[in-house]
Structure 1
Amino acid sequence: MTTATAAHSDIKDPNLAGVGKKRILWADQDMPVLARVRERFEKEQPLAGLRMSACLHVTAETANLVRTLKAGGADVMLIASNPLSTQDDVAASLVHDFDIKVNAIHGEDNNTYYKHIAAALAFEPNITMDDGADLVSSMVFIALDRLDDVHPMVREWAAKFSATERKSKFDNVIGSMEETTTGVIRLRAMEKDGVLQFPVIAVNDAATKHMFDNRYGTGQSTLDGIIRGTNCLMAGKRVVVAGYGWCGKGVASRARGLGAQVIVTEVNAVAALEAAMDGFAVMPMAEAAKVADVFITVTGNKHIVRREHFAAMKDGAMVCNSGHFDVELDLPGLQAETASISRDVRPQVDEYKLHNGNRIYVIGQGRLVNLAMAEGHPPSVMDMSFATQAMATEYCIRQKGKLGKAVYTVPVEVEEYVAITKLASMGIHIDSLSDDQSKYLSGWEHGT
């Protein structure tokens, strides 16, 4: 650890570093694709001389991504993208064992969260990474001189500069990588409104990310978080999965695998039809609220479970969220329906006793249940996401000056490399097209 790293870091306890290092290296064993990328980055130094601010979940898996970025020559600052997802021992190890600047504390309050956002902005990055677009949205508000729209901690930093300086503050940003569905939605809205300040690569939209990370990662880790948090038996439970995107598909599949009777709620007719043909019951939330035992939101939208839904729930119903932001559950609406609240009846499980006498249990404060109550996605699936993330960063740098202020997809060559390398690490080999087959697929002359 250098003096500069210590000065630019804010972590809970440096004495946790030893445990964190073990966790990081354990995860690294199950991330062979990222390790291959890191080995190449160390030789080629594609990120040399660049400053990077990354707003991500501070977990052991993320630690190995950040190690890869540093191996490529970048000077990296990592901050948390969720107050409850930080693993304090990992944060300590990154600072003290790997000389990486970290601003993240598990359970940090809103002011601390945005103080860390301000620190990431003050680092004056050339490249950013986001998981939810909080970092980029703050940069956009500042560039537009809309200081009333940013948190006071960010406003305090931005106010040090003149309006002209704020407008050009992020001119040296080459681009950004976005990791999650919610973030991509926000960024495409910025592009549509013409306020995006630099190119963004939608890593979440890569097949090597969403088909595996969102589906298998979210599916397993969400159920893991619920079970760790409550010790409930899923078999026989009626479980509502709100949203049937890639995350919802994974959660529904894993819940059914544990013996649950799964109900899907949707607003998209095609997704609802798919859920029905996959064998799940489909109904409106107003109906599902009356019969289900467990509710899981994974939509990326706000107020999916509202006051009237809480009021209709059975005594003992458990509610949680696995979407990026905690707004999927209308907790103010629940509080308005509540006679009394008992905090931490189990760690991070709150009991809301309604006016009608029924008890509702909210798991993980409505934040990402897989990270608030468990360890998040397993390293094997994050291996693909983070290898894609690292290589997308390299691509963005190589395209400097060629990309406009828009949201771009990950190049197919990156996805092919990640998939092929992952298969090889699993000992799996596949066929390849013959020249004749390739010619047939690229032509039009051959018919019936």
Structure 2
Amino acid sequence: MTRLSNTRKESTRPMSMLRDPLLADAGKLKIDYSASRMPVLAALTERFAESKPFLGQRIAACLHVTTETANMCKALVAGGAELALCASNPLSTKDDVAASIQRDLGAEVFAIRGCDRDTFYKQVQGVLDIRPTIIVDDGADLTTKIHNDHPELLENIIGGTEVTSTGVLRIRNMAKDGALRYPVLPTNDAATKHLFDNRYGTGQNTIDGILRGTNILLAGSTVVVVGYGWCGRGVAMRARGMGAQVIVTEVDPIRALEAKLDGLQVMTIDQAAPLGDVFVTVTGNRDAITLAHMQRMRSGAVVANSGHFDVEIAVAALAEAAVSRQEIRPNCVEYKLSDGKSILLLAEGRLVGQAAAEAHPAEVMDMTFATQALAVKYLVENAAGLSPDVHEIPRWIENTVAQAKLDAYGIQIDRLTDSQTGYLTDWRVGT
């Protein structure tokens, strides 16, 4: 049973939405375990607890409600922020984690796993009721809702961050149209995010979600990866490492050429449809796999999405065309078509690694969320001088996070000598 909880009595605070507040003990155990594998973020949390860089700031966050997210929330709250958190995906929420974030951090949490679309958007609305000064977004849902429906909130907002490829694309489009009203730092564009989180995190949890949903043998199968950005590279690398033959489909000639030189087959999705056993979309765009594509697939083909939103696969068209629908395993639904062919859709077409598995490993989210937390601190200190646009995260933030991660691994690297630095920075020096 879903319980609406408001553990704090101030009438000005919004009422949280949780599955069950009594799940908090179980959530805290998982959060603490995750924290033990996030040393960079833990160090930042200690530093923020002393310096309180977020005092007076009200942060509205729309993120996957996982143990790793909980540890970033801990860093923000330790730094003095008032925090409200909602889910960025209804199937990625961990209900026990949500309960612990509210109870143990004093945040207002609006996240119920498996909620319907109307409830999902009520949760998004809930975090805006704190009248935020900073936005921490995942997919640009908060950013677009504020600009479209709540322009009255804009005067209080000093800036925001965005952690996904899809979200950054949406916000760049807003900036290009002159619609963006506050500065945004694209966490996804930081090397300490996309090089590791997108490639290794998405690569691992996508395969994990597919295996949990189907228990199929990947070795010897043909996996079609639709899109060869950083996430697609990660999925292809992990599938290939488990013995699968990998086909890549792309619309970008550079990425297609890169896939070819990486030793992968490259073709159109029309050509790949009858060849694949498993299909994974990682495009950030809609209609990457259409009903026509699925009608050409082999019976029993597995279709999954690891892009941000559930529009990459034509789920509604598949449901309408099917003569029957049956959940045969958790997060695995078999759709029977009129010709007798079956298509296995995982996680309702939503993020398979988040919905059917355990999301990104803590070790990689340590870098992503450390970068995110430092980006929020940079906004607090510098927003007054930033125009309403998408601004690069300063390289020193990325270097700080990377060096701290190396230190945690006990890895030492070389340092440039003075003469080497001079050679790289003085154009007068010859060869």
TM-score using structure 1 length: 0.93
Instruction: Spell out the pairing of 1:200-215 with structure 2 (5 A cutoff).
Output: 200-215=184-199
Tell me which residue corresponds to 1:327.
311
Matched, 1:276 2:276: no
What amino acid is aligned across from residue 99 of structure 1 in structure 2? G
Tell me which of 45, 61, 70 is aligned to 2:68: 61
Question: Shift in Å at residue 55 of structure 1?
Answer: 0.2
2:429 counterpart of 1:422: no
100, 104, 108: which one aligns with 1:101: 108
Alpha-carbon deviations, 1:235-270, whole Å to 9, x = none? 111000000000000000000001100000000000
Structure 1: distance between partners of 2:152 and 2:386: 18
Aligned to 1:122: 129
CA offsets per residue over residues 348-388 of structure 1, 9 Å max, x none? 21111111111000000000000110110000000000000
How big is the shift at 1:345?
Answer: 1.1
**Pairs within 5 Å for 1:6-85:** 8-85=15-92
How far apart are 1:8 and its partner, in Å? 3.0
Q: Are the counterparts in 2 of residues 311 and 337 from structure 1 also a CA contact under 8 Å?
A: no
Match of 1:440 in 2: 423
Cα shift at 1:336: 4.0
Letter of the structure 2 residue corresponding to residue 426 of structure 1: Y
CA distance in 1, matches of 2:194, 2:392: 13
Q: State how far apart, in whole Å, the 2-side matches of 1:399 and 1:382 are.
A: 25
8 Å Cα contact 1:300-1:324 kept in structure 2: yes
1:374 is paired with a residue whose SS is coil
Counterpart residue number, 2:4:
none
Alignment partner, residue 234 of structure 1 = 218
Aligned partner of residue 274 in structure 2, secondary structure: helix
In the TM superposition, what are the counterparts of 1:306-321 in structure 2 within 5 Å?
306-321=290-305
- Secondary structure of the 1:49 match is coil
Partner of 1:357: 340
Can you list the C-alpha shifts for 1:327-362, whole angstroms capped at 9, x where unaligned? 0001122234322222x2111211111111110000
CA distance in 1, matches of 2:332, 2:229: 27
Provide the C-alpha distance between the structure 1 equivalents of 2:315 and 2:102, rounded to a whole number of angstroms.
36
Cα separation, 1, equivalents of 2:106 and 2:126: 17
- Where in structure 2 are the equivalents of 1:181-330 lying within 5 Å? 181-330=165-314
1:191–1:240 distance in 2 versus 1, CA, 3 Å: same
**Contact 1:203–1:392, Cα closer than 8 Å, also in 2:** yes
* Secondary structure class of the residue paired with 1:271: helix
Q: CA RMSD in A?
A: 1.2
- CA deviation digits over 1:410-436, x for unaligned, max 9? 111101100000000001000000000
1:79-121 Cα deviation digits (max 9, x unpaired)? 0000000000101111122222111000011111111111111
Give 1:213 deviation, angstroms.
0.2
Q: Deviations over 1:370-410 (max 9, x none)?
A: 01101100000000000000000000110131111101111
How far the C-alpha of 1:303 sits from its partner, in A, is 0.4
Query: What is the letter of the counterpart of residue 380 of structure 1?
Result: E
Q: What is the one-letter code of the residue matched to 1:395? A: Y
**Distance in 1, Cα, partners of 2:39 & 2:9:** 32
* Aligned amino acid, residue 97 of structure 1: D
Tell me what 2:161 maps to. 177
CA distance in 2, matches of 1:430, 1:4: 52
Alignment map for 1:142-181 (pairs within 5 Å): 142-143=149-150, 167-181=151-165
Query: Are the equivalent residues in 2 in contact too, given 1:53–1:76 (CA < 8 A)?
Result: yes
Closer, same or farther in 2 for the Cα pair 1:62/1:304, shift >3 Å? same
| Counterpart among 361, 366, 384 of residue 349 in structure 2 | 366
Indicate yes or no: 2:360 matched with 1:377. Answer: yes
Q: 8 Å contact 2:132–2:153 — kept in the other structure?
A: no
Inter-partner Cα distance in structure 2 for 1:22 and 1:339: 44
Q: Which amino acid aligns with 1:329?
A: I
1:34-91 C-alpha deviation (Å, 9 max, x unpaired): 0111111011100001111100000000000001000000000010000000000101
Query: Structure 1 counterpart of 2:164, which letter?
Result: T
Deviation string for 1:185-237 (max 9, x for gaps)? Answer: 00000001111121111000000000000000000010011111111111111
Tell me, yes or no, if the aligned pair for 2:90 and 2:115 is still in contact at 8 Å. Answer: yes
In structure 2, C-alpha distance between the alignment counterparts of 1:31 and 1:2, rounded to whole Å:
30
Listed as ranges, the gaps of 5+ residues in structure 1 are 144-166
Percent identity of equivalent pairs: 51
**d(CA) in 2 for partners of 1:339 and 1:422?**
52
Ranges of 4+ aligned residues in structure 1 off by more than 6 Å: none
